[in-house]
Amino acid sequence: MRILVSLVAVVALYLLAWVGVGVLGLRTLFGTVLPYAALALFVCGVAYRVVRWAAVPVPFRIPTTCGQQRSLEWIKPSPLENPHTGLQAFLRMALEVLFFRSLLRNTKAEVRAGGRLIQGSSKWLWAGALAFHWCFLVVLVRHTRFFTEPVPWCVNLLAHLDGFLQVGVPAMTLSSVVLLGALGFLLARRLVTGQVRYISLPADYFPLFLLLSIVATGLLLRHVVRTDLSAVKEVAMGLVTFAPSPGEGAHWLFYVHLFFVSVLLAYFPFSKLMHMGGVFLSPTRNLANNNRAVRHINPWDYPVKVHTYEEYEGEFREKLKTAGIPLEKE
């Protein structure tokens, strides 16, 4: 049901764009208006969410420590797993953001008869997630060739390297293939693994279907439909130079592709995809474990009712005296 809802939503989006451009010819709407609106929503939405998170105070310094603390001189600390300084915390975050350090730790638990726990290493999620995110980035960077004139040499180089397999004309890029495979794996994992299927919501399937559709339409455009690239570039350059062009020569599927991307951008700030910004703000990861060396201030700290020593001695005076324990007031 949750899967079906998400799938139906993505199919409906496809039909919408197909009818819109393929039948009704609304190229300006799908090629200009919606992309601009989506981009505006994306930029403002993400900024709003991040600013709102950042505005919430961090009353306590609560890093999750995953390595030896810094204490005695002769004990070797683990600065990347248990940072003691801001720089070390930054490096820990870098490992987390660039290489998904925590996922690399993943294990799989199994309980055998008599309460015997077997835990094996399980790196598939790490590999799949890393492959997806990095390839997505490469594909994004490759796409800047549509938005720049002249195309920066590094983008051309990246595209060249990406196509080193020399399969097909134009060359099939490795990043797209891996991206498709990784997304397929992440989806299959959600469908097949009992624990993950049980916890998955429509909000988990929808972005996967959407991303798969984006990649699929992109591959179709490049390898099957072989749309007129100059027309696509015309639309893209029009968007970035604020001189929109309807791109009459582009295949209707291109507008479907663009529409899916627009939906992704618009959906982004309201979804779990915001983990992209949130990961930087997680207090268990981005702080140094140096509480005993450097005092952390709680901005909303307030006085609380305590039981003072005077009250304590008042209540237990006789018992303290009998036990021969020194008193403040005899």
Partner 1 sequence: MTSEAKPDQMAYYDREKLGQVDLRPGGADWMDVPVNMRPGSFIYPAKEKHLQYFGLPNPRQWFPTDPDWKLPANWKEIIIEGMRERLSKYRSFQVFMDICVRCGACADKCHFFIGGGDPRNMPVLRAELLRSIYRREFTQAGKILGRLAGGRELTVDVIKEWFYYFYQCTECRRCSVFCPYGIDTAEITMMGRELLHLLGVNVNWIMEPVANCFRTGNHLGIQPHGLRDTLDFFADDIEEATGVRVEAPLNRKGAEVLFVTPSGDFLADPGTYTCMGYMCLFHEIGLDYTFSTYASDGGNFGLFTSHEAMKRLNAKIYAEARRLGVKWILGGECGHMWRVLNQYMDTMNGPADFLQVPTSPLTGTRFEHARSTKMIHITEFTADLIKHGKLNLDPSQNDHVRVTFHDSCNPARAMGIFEEPRYILRSVCNHFHEMPENTIREKTFCCGGGAGLGTDENMEMRLRGGMPRASAVRHVHEKHGVNHLAAMCAIDRATLSTVCEYWVPEVRVTGIHELVTNALVMKGQKKREVNLRLEPIGAQAEE
| Residues of span 79-138 touching partner 1 by CB under 8 A | 81-82, 84, 96, 100, 102-103, 105-111, 113-117, 119, 125, 129
Min dist. Cβ of residue 263 to partner 1 (A)? 15
Looking at the Cβ atoms of 242 and 300, the one nearer to partner 1 is: 300
User: Judged by CB, which is closer to partner 1: 96, or 234?
Assistant: 96
- What is the pattern of x (binds partner 1, CB under 8 A) and - over residues 159-178? --------------------
CA distance 324 to 316: 12
CA 197, 105, 107, 129 dihedral sign is positive
> Minimum distance between the CB of residue 245 and partner 1, rounded to whole angstroms?
35
Cα–Cα distances (Å) from 231 to 2, 38, 283, in that order, read 38, 21, 47
Tokens linked to 155: 């983008």
Residue 76 within binding range of partner 1, rule CB under 8 A:
yes
State yes or no: residue 329 binds partner 1 (CB under 8 A).
no
Q: How far is the CB of 7 from partner 1 (least distance, A)?
A: 14
Query: Looking at 169, 198, 243, 330, which residue binds partner 1 (CB under 8 A)?
Result: 198
Count CB-CB contacts under 10 A for residue 184. Answer: 15
Read off φ and ψ for residue 167, nearest 5 degrees. -100, 120
Q: How far apart are CA 167 and CA 151, in angstroms?
A: 23
User: Please, what is the minimum distance in Å from the beta carbon of residue 87 to partner 1?
Assistant: 17
* By CB under 8 A, residue 74 contacts partner 1: yes
Residue 54 CB: number of other CB atoms within 10 A?
Answer: 12
Residue bearing tokens 């799949």: 128
Shortest CA distance to 265 belongs to which of 43, 30, 48? Answer: 43
59 binds partner 1, rule: CB under 8 A: yes
**Length reported for the chain:** 330
Q: Which one among 137, 191, 199, 240 touches partner 1, defined by CB under 8 A?
A: 199
Q: Tell me if 192 contacts partner 1 by CB under 8 A.
A: no
Q: Is 23 in the site for partner 1 (CB under 8 A)?
A: no
Q: Tell which positions 270-309 bind partner 1, by CB under 8 A.
A: 270, 272, 274-275, 278-279, 281-285, 289-298, 300-301, 304-309
For residues 280 and 93, the answer to whether their CB atoms sit within 8 Å is yes
Any contact of residue 57 with partner 1 (CB under 8 A)? yes
Residue 75 binding partner 1, by CB under 8 A: yes
Nearest CB to partner 1, comparing residues 40 and 62: 62
What are the structure tokens assigned to 97, written together?
Answer: 């953001």
DSSP conformation class of 150: S
Q: How many CA atoms lie within 13 A of 135 on its CB side?
A: 21
Taking a C-beta distance cutoff of 8 angstroms, is the pair 141, 158 a contact?
Answer: yes
The stretch near partner 1 (CB under 8 A) out of 31-39, 70-78, 166-174, 218-226 is: 70-78
Shortest gap between Cβ of 269 and partner 1 (angstroms)? Answer: 11
Least separation in angstroms between residue 50's CB and partner 1 is 10
d(CA 88, CA 71): 15
* Rounded distance between C-alpha atoms, residue 255 and residue 21, angstroms: 7
The residue range among 28-36, 45-53, 211-219, 257-265 that interacts with partner 1, by the rule CB under 8 A, is 45-53
User: Which DSSP symbol is given to 284?
Assistant: T
Minimal distance, residue 196 CB to partner 1, in Å: 4
